[in-house]
Structure formats: C-alpha cells, structure tokens
Structure 1
Amino acid sequence: MKRRDVLTAGLVGAALPLAAPALAQTAPELRWRLHSAFPRNLDALYGAAEMFARLVGEASDGRFQIETSAPGSQAPALLDAVGAGGVEMAYAPAYYEAGRDPVYGLATAAPFGLNARQQNAWMLQGGALDLFNEIFARQQLYVLPGGNTGTQMGGWFRREIKGVADLQGLRFRIAGLGAQVLAKLGVAPQSTPGPDLYAALEAKTLDAAEWIGPYDDEKLGLNKVAPFYYYPGFWEGGAMLHFWFNAQKWGELSKNYKAIAQSAAAQVNVDLQAKYDARNPGALRRLVGGGAQLKPFPQEVMEAALKAANEIYAELSAKNPDFKRVYDSLKAFRNEEYLWFQVAEYTYDNFMIRARARG
C-alpha cells in the first residue's frame, strides 16, 4: 500500500474510510506557500519543510499543493508575513521572536529547561501547545510542532573558556533566551544569520558562534575558523521547531485537510530528530579527527549561567503574565519529568556510556 493511501484511509475516518477518488471529487484544490527560515544547504532543516509539503500533497492526491522556499537572512520577519497573510505558512523556531516577546523563546527551548523528549511531551501531553496557540492567536498564528534538534552544542570559540571571566565582552552569535542569560554574564550577544557565521568568525567580527550540532556545523565549516568546540548548549536542551500557519487560513481548512496537515507535521516531528541522532555521531568523529578541540563548559560557567537564568525567569515572570503562566507550566513539568528520568533513563544511559568506555 502506498503511503498516501495509508494516510488518506487513516485520517478521513476510522468508521467509514473515504477512498482517494471520493476525496478527489469533494476536496478543493489549494496552492499554498511555505517559507523556511533555513537555507537549502542545511538539508535536514530545509528538508523538513519539503517533507511536510510532499506528505500533504501525497495524502491529498495532489489537490493540496505547498510550495517551499528559503528566505535565508529574512527569517526573523517570517512570522510577521504569516500573521499578515502575506504567506500561508512558515517553518521556523519560535525563539526568533523572543526579542518581541520572551514567551516565544519558551516554545523552542528554555535555558536549563527540557530535553527533546520532555519538550515533546510537554507540548503534546502537558498542555503547552494549547497555551502557545492561545497566545500566538493574537498575532493571527497557529502552530504545530515540527521536529527537534536534540540537545545542541555550546558552539565554536576562537579562544579557550576557562571560567566566567573569559566571557567578558565575548562577541557570541546566540539566539533566544540564551542570549539574555549570557549577556548577564558579560557576553555581547550577536544575531548573525547562520550562512554568515563562517565569514564573521574568519574576519574576527565574532569571537564565538553556536548553531546546532556536528552535522550542520560541519556543513557551515565552522571548525575551520574556530578551534574550540564546547558542550553542552545548555540554552537549548531540546530545541523544537514549528510549522506556523496563518490562523485564518488554518481555520478555513476542511477537517480532512487539517488532519492531513497534522499527520504530516507529526511525521516530520519524529523524522527530524531521528536524522540528527543518526548523523551527528559521524560528523562529530570527523570534526574531532580534523582537529576540533572538544571541551565541556567549566562547572563555574554552568553554575553561573543557571543562576543567571533563574534570575531572568523571575524578572520576566514578574512583568509578563503570559511568560509566567507558560514558564510555571514548564517548570512543574520539568520537575516531574526528572523525577522519572533519574530512575530509569539516566541510570540506563549512564551504565551503557560507562560500559562503552570500558570497551
């Protein structure tokens, strides 16, 4: 059976499945545009938008067509375009809008927040998706989860970081709420787009830059212009990306088309992290084999950053009711998750990592 037959049969109704020819007779033809925040050479990220468009087209027998495009450095303006109806959809992380409202940052990843599995559980089973869609509706936006990168790397540095003092005045490309945390420690956050990171590091207008992880960092060539590769990216323990819809356009979709779009987004949500989990190990081997100096952030830096993050969360919660409501939900969910993860997940992973080290 073809994938589109499975999707069509499963989505249209369990009791009386609607055959593809019947769907074709009743469903309208739609032509939408989906703008990605990422360039085409970042195949995992740009490919997520392409995969969504392909799945929707296949499941609708070609009646719901979505054209993808890559606006590159215009990414931060994408959600404005979607909300205004200039384009029907976008694929981007919410934290590109954290400067407008910090609550957007929580939708992607909070410093010292949730890991990828926990972020997904919070969104889909912990009520977070409903909270975010209630807030985003004010900008005429509707959102569905669209994948996760997993815990990201801490980035590429032109000089070694031995303590908090080494962060003073550091020109560091970093996005989202992590930028606010590191600014509190003396970093000068920069918003350089991904495609420009190599040139900025080479020209020494940046001292450091974080992007995602080994697979994408290797594609950008960041190891060639900054030797020290730090981990973990504590500001993105599980960075979620999203499919953004114009709320009116979403509301006008038929139940069948909404179900098809939801199913396609759910498949991308699983597939993207699977890609990174499968591809990062080999890329990390190649980077280290090529001379990258892999280093953990010093404990002093981690502790200072955690303290700064908690101070920022308290400040933002005191003046932003939406942020407080969402962060309180995240914090409570995180506490429950780690109650469970420390029992089974952490114990198992820790044992297996040590067993691997013993050979």
Structure 2
Amino acid sequence: PGSSVAASVFHGTHVAGAIGAVLNGQGIGGVAFGGRILPVRVLGEGGTGSSDDLIDAIRWVTGETDGVAARAQVVNLSLGGLPEIPQLEAAIEFGVNERDMLFVGAAGNSATSSPSYPAASPNVLAVSSVDAGGQLASYSNFGSWIDLAGPGGDASRDGNNDGRADVVWSTSAVAGANGFEASYTGLQGTSMAAPHVSGVLALLKTQDSSLNYEGLRALLESGGLTDFSGSRSDQLGFGILDASGALQANLSGDITILSPSPSQVILGSETGSEQIVRLNQIGNGAISNVSISDTPPWFTVIRSDIDSTIALNVALVDSAIEENVAYRDVIRVDYQAGSELRSLDIPVVAQVLSD
C-alpha cells in the first residue's frame, strides 16, 4: 500500500514473454509461443517476498493444497537466493513424484559457486547463464549443482560481435498517461536463461505428455537437451540448451544412460554419515565397463550389485572432516552405453556441526 506500480521492473512479464509471447509481427516471440501461461505472483516490487509465499504457491500449482490435478506441467522459478528449506523441497518433490511436473530454476547472479535454492534442489533443473558467444556470463552462479546453461545475456559483453550489448529482449510495460502500455526491453540474468529452458520443456511435454523428471534427467545427461560435449562442467553443467536437438532427441527414444537416485549425496550431522546411491538404467541398450573415480580423503565409495542394479555406498570419513566446514566434491562414474562412452557426476556435500 502506498507504493507506486510505476516502479515495477516487470520482471515476471519479461520472463513470461521469453516462454510464451505470441507471434504478432511485433517485438519477439516466446520459445513456446503457442503455450498457456499461468502467472503466480510470489514476490512484491523490488523482488521482496517470503519463502512461505513461495512454498504456498508451489503447493497450489501442484494441486497439493486442495487435492486437485496439477495446474501446470512446467514450473519456471526465476527467483532464488534461498538456503535449503525442507518444506520447499517437499513441495517440489510432491510435484515431481506425484504429478510428473518439471521444475526449472535460475541459478542466481552472484558469480559464486554457493548453491542457491530452489535451483540447487535435486528435483529442479538449475540453469546458469551464457552470453551471445556461449561463454558463462560474468554475473552467473556456477558449481557442481548446475545442470545446464541458457541464453541470459551479459550487458558488459558483445559475445557475437554484432555491435550491441548482449541482453535478452522480451515483453515489458511502461506507465503511460492512460495506464500501462505494452513495450519490450532488454535484460540480463539467469532469470532470463531459465525461461528459455522452461519453454523447451513445454514443447517436449507437447511431444510426450508422459515425460517426467526421470526421463528428463536421462535426456539431459545423455546430451539430448544441450550441445553436450561429453564432459560436464561447473559453469555450463551438461552444456548449453539446444532446442532443436532436444525436440529431435525426445522423439528418438534410443537413449540409454545410468541415472543416480538420489542425484545428490548429503552427509553430516543432520543427514547421517552414510547414503546409498542406486544407478538406475534408463533405456534398453547395454551398459558395461562401469568404473568409479578415486575419491577425496573425506568420503569413501563401495560398489555392490543389488537386484541387477549398481549401488554405491557413500560413507563419511569422520577423521578427515573438520567441524563446521562445508565439503563439496563429486563421484565420477564412467561407463559404456552400447558403443558410446558416457560419464555422470554425482555431487557430494558434507558438513559436521560442533555440539
């Protein structure tokens, strides 16, 4: 109350346009320009809000609040900066496991490797940002929790040498004498990168409405969503979004990969000192020559086979851990799927708190 709506930056309008702006001969068209947008506002002007509002919104969209079907198939989360919150994780997990929904999160704009939630949640695709030349944007967050990168722009660069700053143009509005007037503006941020991914996922859902998070992970980790070169990086995850390639790969149905469950290992005072990760095979091809990389001194990995599924027992080495220090690394799994060599990284996080 008392604030001016003219002060709005129309962040949500810009994000929505990148996903689904119609083709009208003006401005830009969204990635899924024939899709339907369900706007759910959780933040006020200036991007302020509470995690409770976000949790309530997700529970409403998934249908958990009132026991109805999901109100959307793809949820774009161009917001973040939160710590890991159990209630938020549970709300997203319900949407993924009970409603086959897909969640996409903006990695954040602090140029840090510190995980930003909800993007860093294990059931959300975390999207970093690249400039027009395909390089990680100067502001973009990065780290072992990044899944892929999308075009988010970088106003400080001209990565494609077209003589203009690399920003993402999309829908906006300005306050005029008679109210708001539609306009277009250029912005930068992982908030702009995430909706490009969400738009592609909407197209994939149109192709195959049964596509769930497990299938999406298979597509991602095999390079079906991106220009994946075969080696994951902390900057770009499994590569830069490739819309055309994703649509073709989604139709082919010939991908075979190993998919870890859970996709991230968290060890420590509150979660326990051991966790079992199962490497589930997705696809009908042959998997062979599975090898596990050497691990750092602070955790061990023991492989076993359980009901024809490879299981990894990951255990904390207490004597190698310093209290109140956060440790991060990955388990690298190399394997052969048919004639192709593949690999996957399973993030491992640990922290032991003092009494």
TM-score, normalised with respect to structure 2: 0.26
**More helix per residue: 1 or 2?**
1
TM-score, normalised with respect to structure 1: 0.26
**More strand per residue: 1 or 2?**
2
Q: Which has the higher contact order (CA 8 A, sep 6+)?
A: 1
